[in-house]
Structure 1
């Protein structure tokens, strides 16, 4: 490999007169991708999809639309595990919990009682856990399933 001596001499002159400033290479920014995906559920189709939480300014966007029915999907939280689409009782339980203000956040290590596993346990749970750590949203009776008149409406 031949070295261009003239080029090397000129480079050394520029360095000596400080007209050639050599900067160290800048590190490549580490792109981590999107922050994370959060489970969103459609109670109409009984389906769940993971979507990014998009913030415009300081407020989150109102909702993602369901790819199947076009209805608004609701942000459930990162720890949400969707029931099977055919399990209507479990979806009803999840919808009542959502309407009561519960979100599936965190890793499960909280001070409060565990969330109920069956629809039959839900009434007592809602009455006895008004200050539960996973109850982070205001109750919304408009989200309750049709025909439901249980503890979620009485407690609020």
Structure 2
């Protein structure tokens, strides 16, 4: 599973047995802040790409932990996550029913 620290912009992977459960967060090995479990499909931006990390934080704060979302109206195709902050704002509004509460 991919974990990401939104404070120091570090991403790292940890292996877990799903049958034994997987934590939603753990401590960042670099700074000690919370690092959140964004699942196995999360692709972290470069540490220096501040705009993309702001987008990641925005999505996270609105309940999107990079879980897969399926479009019911379009034969359950996977909905891609947005590439820009503007797209993220539209995404959050359009798919708010899928947000993790």
Coarse TM-score class (shorter-chain normalised) = 0.7 to 0.9
RMSD value, Cα: 2.4
Q: 2:3, 2:47 → 1: CA distance?
A: 14
Question: TM-score scaled to structure 1, two decimals?
Answer: 0.52
CA distance in 2: counterparts of 1:125 and 1:77, whole angstroms: 19
Match of 1:145 in 2: none
Shift of 1:61: 4.0
Partner of residue 120, structure 1: 86
TM-score, scaled to structure 2: 0.76
Residue aligning to 1:39: 2
- Structure (1 or 2) with the greater strand fraction: 2
Gaps of 5+ in 2: 72-77
Equivalent residues of 2:4, 2:38 under 8 A apart:
yes
Task: Report deviation, 1:62.
Answer: 5.8
Structure 1: runs of 5+ lacking an equivalent: 1-37, 139-156
CA 1:63 to 1:121, structure 2 compared with 1: closer, same or farther past 3 Å?
closer
Residue from 54, 61, 86 that aligns with 1:92:
54
